[in-house]
């Protein structure tokens, strides 16, 4: 998104339209609140205060932003190929399962450790166990979405619907594991796997509540951005996304590209699952299904599939999710309020999609034909 004299208008368009869309969504949500007899300004104030008001509350926002950054890549990367994948939640769940399996095997040597094994850990260095868990998350989540990509390429199965169905399959699989083969008998009310030992979990960045998952998220977004914008691989993917026939004629291996991109996408969401297990829950259970996958789709959309913008958008949305609890407590509003707000944002952002290239102020003066900025070249 390099700023040069020739394309500043289209750059402005890419920045102004999403911000205006968010603003319109805020106004609509305000009308919704006013309609229910709540003071919208008091609600905005509370959202701002609990999300970004001070360092302590901002930490809570960043906590929630971390998995969103990772799950948004699950939609954003395949979008470069023209694929619309919404299996983020399932890939997150599978990643959580993979991380738990790796974590238990590396620390106890068994998925169902006996009391004896619990006492005597294998004693691997924490970093290697954490890397093992990350690998487990990456492989499980990656394969999950790679299946979607392979089905798309080799059987022409609609990737949106198959990935959606696989969300439900992954959740059922998780429930099966924590109720049966992997159940810790001590977890009565909330069936869970055995816990990962404290020493092997992802710790907090010093003296904050923020865990290292945030670093994972930011690094993944940076790598994804570099991969898409500055490598031949990314160029090939964007070419195939622009025109499959042209890509085939140019000799690009479209099938391989599809499967690899889908694997990378799934592995990012899988990593989010690993972070949830290794830093937040400490074990696999139904709490993994917290809606971060679906919210990640929204992040990818608002960021227009740009991994750098996803960092910013994930932080904004993390703030909104973070403020949900406060709305519930101080305004006596149901927890679904945040869902209504997300839905409104999503709808308005989609509408704003149709405004690109239609507004006069962003039109380049007719001097010479300039190629559009790279970040706007995404077909939707």
Q: Which residues bind other proteins (CB under 8 A)?
A: 84, 86, 151, 153-158, 160-162, 164-166, 168-169, 172-173, 175-176, 179-180, 294, 297-298, 301, 333-344, 346-347, 350-351, 353-354, 356, 358, 380
Taking the C-alpha atoms of residue 223 and residue 203, their distance in angstroms, rounded to an integer, is 23
Alpha helices in 156-291 (DSSP H): 159-179, 213-230, 232-242, 244-249, 254-275
What's the CA gap between 78 and 30, in Å, rounded? 34
Smallest distance, Å, CB 32 to other proteins?
9
What is the rounded CA–CA span in Å between residue 271 and residue 151? 23
Name the minimum Å distance from CB 12 to other proteins.
19
CB of 379 vs other proteins, minimal distance in Å: 8
Which residue shows structure tokens 């009391």? 115
Tell the smallest beta-carbon distance from residue 335 to other proteins (Å).
8
**Closest approach of other proteins to the CB of residue 172, in Å:** 4
Give the angle 60-63-200 at the CA atoms, nearest 5°. Answer: 125
Among residues 86 and 262, whose Cβ is nearest to other proteins?
86
- Residue 153 or 201 having the CB closest to other proteins: 153
Q: In angstroms, rounded to a whole number, what is the distance separating the alpha carbons of residues 264 and 307?
A: 13
Q: What is the distance between the alpha carbons of residues 32 and 320, in angstroms, rounded to a whole number?
A: 16
Output b/e per residue, 169-179; b: 16+ Cβ within 10 A: ebbeebeebbe
Which residues, including other chains, have CB under 8 Å from residue 46's CB and lie 6 or more apart? 323, 326, 327, 330, 331
In the complex, the smallest distance separating the C-beta of residue 120 from other proteins, rounded to whole angstroms, is 32
What are the start-end ranges of the H helices in 53-204? 55-79, 88-107, 115-119, 126-155, 159-179
Residue 341 C-beta: closest distance to other proteins, Å = 8
Half-sphere exposure (Cβ direction) of 210: Cα atoms closer than 13 Å: 23
């Amino acid at each position: 998104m390099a700023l040069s004299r020739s394309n500043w208008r289209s750059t402005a368009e890419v920045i102004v339209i999403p911000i205006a869309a968010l603003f319109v969504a805020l106004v609509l949500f305000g009308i919704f609140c006013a309609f229910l007899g709540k003071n919208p300004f008091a609600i905005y104030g509370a959202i701002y205060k609990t999300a970004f008001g001070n360092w302590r509350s901002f930490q809570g926002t960043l906590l929630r932003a971390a998995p969103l950054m990772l799950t948004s890549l699950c939609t954003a990367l395949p979008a470069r190929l023209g694929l619309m994948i919404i299996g983020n939640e399932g890939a997150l769940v599978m990643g959580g399962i993979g991380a738990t399996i790796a974590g238990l095997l590396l620390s106890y040597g068994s998925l169902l450790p006996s009391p004896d094994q619990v006492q005597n850990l294998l004693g691997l260095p924490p970093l290697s166990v954490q890397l093992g868990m990350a690998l487990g998350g990456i492989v499980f989540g990656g394969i999950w979405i790679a299946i979607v990509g392979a089905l798309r390429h080799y059987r022409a199965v609609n990737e949106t619907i198959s990935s959606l169905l696989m969300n439900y399959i992954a959740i059922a699989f998780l429930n099966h594991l924590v109720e049966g083969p992997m159940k810790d008998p001590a977890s009565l009310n909330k069936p869970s796997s055995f816990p990962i030992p404290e020493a092997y979990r992802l710790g907090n960045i010093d003296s904050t509540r923020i865990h290292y998952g945030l670093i994972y998220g930011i690094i993944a977004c940076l790598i994804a951005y570099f991969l898409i914008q500055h490598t031949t691989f990314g160029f090939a993917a964007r070419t195939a996304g622009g025109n499959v026939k042209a890509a085939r004629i140019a000799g690009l291996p479209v099938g391989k590209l599809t499967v690899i991109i889908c694997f990378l996408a799934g592995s990012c969401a899988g990593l989010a699952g690993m972070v949830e297990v290794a830093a937040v829950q400490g074990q696999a259970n139904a709490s993994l299904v917290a809606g971060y996958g679906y919210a990640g789709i929204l992040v990818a959309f608002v960021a227009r599939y740009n991994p750098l913008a996803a960092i910013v958008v994930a932080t904004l949305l993390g703030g909104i999710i973070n403020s949900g609890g406060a709305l519930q407590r101080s305004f006596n509003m149901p927890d679904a309020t945040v869902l209504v707000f997300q839905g409104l944002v999503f709808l308005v952002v989609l509408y704003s999609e149709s405004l690109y290239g239609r507004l006069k102020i962003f039109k380049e003066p007719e001097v010479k034909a300039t190629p559009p900025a790279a970040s706007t070249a995404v077909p939707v």
